[in-house]
Amino acid sequence: MYAIRQLASTIGVFTLAAGALTVGTAGAHATAPTAAVASASCSQSYLPLPDPVCQPGAFNPDVTQDTIGSTICVSGWTSTVRPPTSYTNPLKVQQIADYGYSDTSTADYEEDHLVPLELGGAPRDPMNLWPEPRYSTGGKTAGNKDTVENRLKTAVCNGQVPLDDARQAIATDWTTALAAVGLN
């Protein structure tokens, strides 16, 4: 895996443990990682999920249950924190290599937030961003995940589901997240 630990200390990301969620603190000031990887270091075997060691998910510390009324539940808020493609495109290229995808066309992947911005995911933390295939993997697509994200955000903003429960469910397995919080 590329120099995640070095990057993490540089941008102030605290990794709790392998497979645990992280909390990013640097927000818009992080820069794209530049270290190269000689061979695939992330496993495709988890698809349609990311490798939990490479991308366990990370939270934006500015989004809490107490702040959702002024952050994620405000129409258009995610556009204020979404990283530019000048950041995500080089990261996508690096992570496509990290996963060892034979298809290296960046158009075939969405550089997606495991914990979505709509639920207060860390915008620029590489541990929360991964090259999600746009094509079906295990019968699931990036579009399917978008539907789950939207339903969870609506439930959080309507007070049906606590923010932390929604975040944990989607970070654990977005394909079962709705059922995990009782939104089948």
103-116: b (≥16 Cβ within 10 Å) or e:
eeeeeebbbbbbbb
48 prior amide bond cis, ω within 30? yes
Instruction: Give the pLDDT confidence score for residue 39 in this predicted structure.
Output: 57
Quote the mean pLDDT of the chain.
83
Q: What is the pLDDT of residues 55-114, one digit of tens each?
A: 999 999 999 999 999 999 999 999 999 999 999 999 999 999 999 999 999 999 999 999
Neighbours of 102 (CB within 10 A): 6
Across the range 9-16, mean pLDDT stands at 32
Q: What is the pLDDT of residues 117-166, one digit of tens each?
A: 999 999 999 999 999 999 887 888 888 899 999 999 999 999 999 999 99
For 1-23, the three-class secondary structure string (H helix, E strand, C coil) is CCCHHHHHHHHCCEECCCCCCEE
Instruction: Give the pLDDT confidence score for residue 29 in this predicted structure.
Output: 33
Instruction: Give the pLDDT confidence score for residue 168 in this predicted structure.
Output: 97
Q: What percent of the chain has pLDDT over 70?
A: 79
- 3-state class of 180 per DSSP? helix
More confidently predicted of 21 and 181? 181
Instruction: Give the pLDDT confidence score for residue 36 in this predicted structure.
Output: 39
Instruction: Give the pLDDT confidence score for residue 27 in this predicted structure.
Output: 39
Instruction: Give the pLDDT confidence score for residue 122 in this predicted structure.
Output: 98
Instruction: Give the pLDDT confidence score for residue 184 in this predicted structure.
Output: 83
- Tokens linked to 154: 């609506």
pTM assigned to the model: 0.79
Instruction: Give the pLDDT confidence score for residue 2 in this predicted structure.
Output: 35
* Per-residue pLDDT band at 44 (split at 50, 70, 90): very high
More confidently predicted of 27 and 102? 102
